[in-house]
């Protein structure tokens, strides 16, 4: 028998959705679009989690944190790792983008489908002063999902959430 009343599924979603990303703690796993869904079957909360990059070392930490949050909320918990459809930066919510910017990380350009953004031919506005006079310092930044940029206007270096 499947017990799935509205209240419990919502409580499970809220508990899981509040987990911050371990590498970008200003946003939650739900805002990043990594947490795809939570369903409750027979009192077991099952969370669908998708990795950002194939080798993202934070995947396990995220799965453990989501599992722990569900347990704290009183559920038995299980994680399902979802490969398909592949995560894309288009799944980052508007709130998430704004929080990234406030945190000093330039959010990814929409949309990932465009070959221009995939090949980095985009203008990345500075998250601090909003100038578009910026330059790429390195294709690869502090984590797999970011590139490193510098603002020529305010001279601040900053991370850019790469568009995939």
Residues near another protein, by CB under 8 A: 51, 53-57, 83-87, 112, 118-120, 137-144, 148, 162, 164
Smallest separation, CB 32 to another protein (Å):
15
Smallest distance, another protein to C-beta of residue 73, A: 28
Q: Kindly tell me which of 18 and 164 has the beta carbon lying closer to another protein.
A: 164
State the nearest-atom distance from the C-beta of 137 to another protein, in Å: 7
Kindly tell me which of 25 and 85 has the beta carbon lying closer to another protein. Answer: 85
Min dist CB 50 to another protein, Å, is 9
- Nearest C-alpha neighbor of 24 from the set 55, 64, 58, 48: 58
Q: Report the nearest approach of another protein to the CB of residue 20 (Å).
A: 21
Positive or negative: CA dihedral 78, 81, 84, 85: positive
Two tokens, residue 99: 């929080």
**Cβ closest to another protein, residue 5 vs residue 119:** 119
Cα separation, 47 vs 37, whole angstroms:
6
106 vs 52: CA distance, rounded Å: 17
Nearer to another protein, 12 or 159 (CB): 159
When the beta carbons of 28 and 143 are compared against another protein, the nearer one is 143
Give the DSSP H/E element, type plus range, for residue 4.
Answer: none
Residues 6+ apart with CB under 8 A from 45: 12, 15, 16, 38, 39, 70, 73, 75, 76, 77, 78
């Amino acid at each position: 028998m499947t017990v799935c009343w509205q209240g419990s599924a919502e409580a499970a979603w809220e508990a899981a959705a509040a987990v911050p990303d371990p590498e970008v703690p200003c946003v939650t796993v739900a805002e990043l679009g990594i947490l795809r869904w939570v369903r409750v079957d027979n009192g077991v909360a099952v969370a669908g989690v998708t990795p950002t990059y194939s080798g993202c070392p934070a995947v396990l930490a995220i799965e453990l944190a989501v599992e722990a949050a569900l347990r704290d909320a009183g559920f038995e918990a299980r994680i399902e790792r979802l490969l398909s459809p592949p995560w894309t930066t288009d799944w980052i919510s508007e709130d998430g983008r704004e929080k990234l910017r406030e945190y000093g990380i330039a959010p990814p350009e929409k949309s990932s489908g465009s070959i221009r953004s995939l090949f980095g031919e985009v203008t990345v506005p500075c998250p601090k002063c909003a100038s578009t006079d910026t330059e790429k310092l390195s294709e690869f930044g502090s984590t797999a999902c970011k590139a490193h940029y510098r603002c020529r206007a305010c001279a601040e270096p900053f991370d850019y959430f790469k568009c995939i």
